[in-house]
Every structure is written in structure tokens, then in C-alpha cells.
Structure 1
């Protein structure tokens, strides 16, 4: 009797499973049909939203021809199929671009691009050649010097790599030179020294960073304890203004005392 009951239970389970299978296939078929209809509807709607133009809003001049060729942004393209994030990523590969936002204007058949450009903060000069590059406030290379930019602080270096315009933020030149200059300026600002009081930073000697004040004083900072040394620079600048002292250079690389040379 027990064996008969077990057999009956097995038969009932198989019947239930057979009844479930058609229902599962119907669900899968329905989902697949919905997806196909969605894609077709998306393509159908896209025919009514064709690309007519691209509008770029930015401060300077940027050539969009390369972007149009790489992304296939040609008149008549389906606007719903255009990858806006990919456009932004492609534009941000340009060293001059800091941030990009891209929008679809379906009513006018237009792709709108708003590009925020990097602002020059430093102008780096190669010793002996006069070759220059502009750098932003984070030590990122912008490229060749922009015309008409005023108030930049000059940084003198022994050499600029030829490929620097295409280097990433992890290159040795960016990390060891450009970011060091930015660090000095940021720390100087924290100590109350304005950018107007600084005319140049000399980084030709890796063991000694030299800051030139706008009044012509040469401050040797070395490489460590910048915060403490720049605090002394601020104090010395105030004293020279009050007392009318004519100082040629100040060496702050020694722990206890500053070596000061007066102008003769």
C-alpha cells in the first residue's frame, strides 16, 4: 500500500510540473514580445527625431569635426540612438576641457554641448628655450600658452617633456614638478601671501624650490616644511615693507635661522 501511495504522489507531481511548463513559456514569450515591440517603437519614434545641428557653448574655440567623425554625429542621425555620455567622455579627453554636459533638444533636432574649460593658473617656462605651457590650479596641463591671459605666475623648470600635452596626471613631470608648484602656491595663499606678491617659482633644482617675490626678493625654501617656511616668508615681506629694507635673497633651508643678504 505504501508503494502505491508513493507512486500516486509521483504521478501527481509530474502532472503539476507539466501544467506549469506551458505557463512559464507563455511568460517568457510575452517578455520577449514586449522587448521586440519596445525596440521597434524606439526605432519608429527615432525617425521623427533626426539630428539637424550641434550647438557648442564654451568660452574659447573648439573644433568639433573630430568629434563628429568619431561619434557619427551627422545630419539625419537618430537622436535617440546618440550616446550623450560617450560624447562627454570623448570631449573630456581634450586637455583644455574640464567638464562637459550634453543635452538632447528633440523639438529643434539639436544636440547641445556645454563645455567648461580649464583656467590657466601657472605658466611653465623651459630654461634656455623659452618654450611654455599653461597649467591649471590642479597641476593639469592645458597646452600652449593662451593669448591675453594676465596675472599668471611663472614657473621655471630645467626641461619640459615633448609629450607633456598628452601626459596623464600620473606622469613624473606632472607629479614631481607641476603639482609641487601648485602646492607651494596653495600653501603660500594659506599663509596669507597673495598671488600678486609672487612673480616666479624656480624648480630647476630638485633639492631647492625658490620663490621670487614681486618686489624682487629670492626665497630659498628647500623641499620640506613648506608651511613653516612660507609663514616666515610672509613675516619677512611685511617687515621689508614697513622698514623699507632692500633684501636680495633669504635662505630658509636652515632649521633655526634664516640667512639674509641685503642689496648693496
Structure 2
């Protein structure tokens, strides 16, 4: 009896597995998925907004909105995901954005037959609406996304009207505590969602010249001299409030510290865009411009 070469045998097995996976994917209807694992905080919030929160069985550590997401089992930080943790949740599908890690996690999940669906990265108000629609199309709830996007567009008219009440453009710095590396770093000035929200709130991102996110530079923060410092919730609470923030390198030398314009802001309200963005931008605008008067419809 002729014995097949191990390499050829392995190839045949992989081919059979690929065919089986393809057949499973063709038969899969995402609208019926009852065990979803989401490893993107932005996607997690959007799934809840689309009415799919009841079908999420686990998420990553950064998925913190709504409060129901905090109660879900966690499968690791989104850049340090646990393959074993995800597998143990027996998901129908894992949904994710391109910025997850490690790079091996998705191939490992696919190798054991777990269906994974990547959605594009969204860093602007417009692309967030496209992402919401893409998620809704995939899970069969397009009408819900259409309604949410229409509501957001209507609410943004209130934001645009409020912008006209602003009389100055303060320099703003956003400081975040990175839970993965256990360090504070400046999130703003990177041309990301936080900068876009600052501009929509009629502020301007303070120019921070230090490179990298490994640690804060006292000299760079003092040189940037922001009028307002925003600290995301976890870091603000860790420091014990405004006086603790002033002890961070260089912060005490800024106009923000001298004028007590240091504020706490929920991380999930400023690091990505979503259905609540008009509300979040208006909240930020009222911190930057306390005299404006605006209420969402």
C-alpha cells in the first residue's frame, strides 16, 4: 500500500478544511447570529445601538459603552487578544477592526473554524455612519442604521448652530492612560478622532512635539501650553482628580492648570465616532465654551 507524502497529506487536509469553511460561510446568515464576539469598542457600541447587544457574548477590555458592555466576559485588550478566550465563547462570528492584535489571533481563530468578519477602520464622522451601515447590512438591520444616521445628521445641525456662538478657539490637549502599557500619554495632536472632535467643538489641538506614547514629556507639554486639558476617565480617576493631574510632567506650567481648566471626559466619548457623537461633541464644546447655550432635539 502506497503511503502519501506527509506534505501532500497536509495539503489535502487543509484543502478539505478550506472547502468545509467555505460551505459553512455560504450557509451562514449573520442576521441569525446569537453568539457574537466583538473586539472593537467602536463596533461594540454600534452593535448595541443596532439592537444586537443581546447577541454579544463577549468583548474586549476597551469596550465600555453602554454599561451593559462592561458586564460581558472579556477576551483581552484589543491589541493583546486571547485566542483561547475567544474560542471558549463558542462564537458564531467574531467582528473586529484592523487595529487589533496580535497579528496571529485571526489566523488562529480561522484555523479552528471560527468565522471572523473584519470591518474597516473609521476615524471621521462620515466614515462612522458608513461603518454603522456596513454593520447593519451584515446583520440584517439596515433600517435601524438608516434611522440612527438620520438622527445623528439632525443633531449635528444643533452642533453647527452652536459653533456660531463660540468667540474663541482654545488650545486643547487630551491625555489618556494606556491600560495596556500602564502609562499616561498625549492622545491629541495625532490627527485622529480626538483632534476631529476638538475642531468640531471649536477648539484646536495643542501642538505636542514629543514623539511616541511611551511617556509624557514635561518640556513638550509646557511648550504646547494648552488652554484646556482633557483627561480620559480612567486616568483622571486614577490620579484622584484635578490636583493629581497637575502633578503630571509639565501640566502645572500650562494655562489650563493655572486657570483650572482641567476636565474629566469619558474615553469612549472622544476616541471614536458613533451614533452619540453629536451629544459628545456638544458636551466637549460646553467645556471649551461655557457660555454657549444649546440642547439636542
Return the structure number with greater helix share: 2
Larger radius of gyration: 1
Give the TM-score range, shorter chain: under 0.3
* TM-score, normalised with respect to structure 2: 0.26
* TM-score, normalised with respect to structure 1: 0.28
Return the structure number with greater strand share: 1
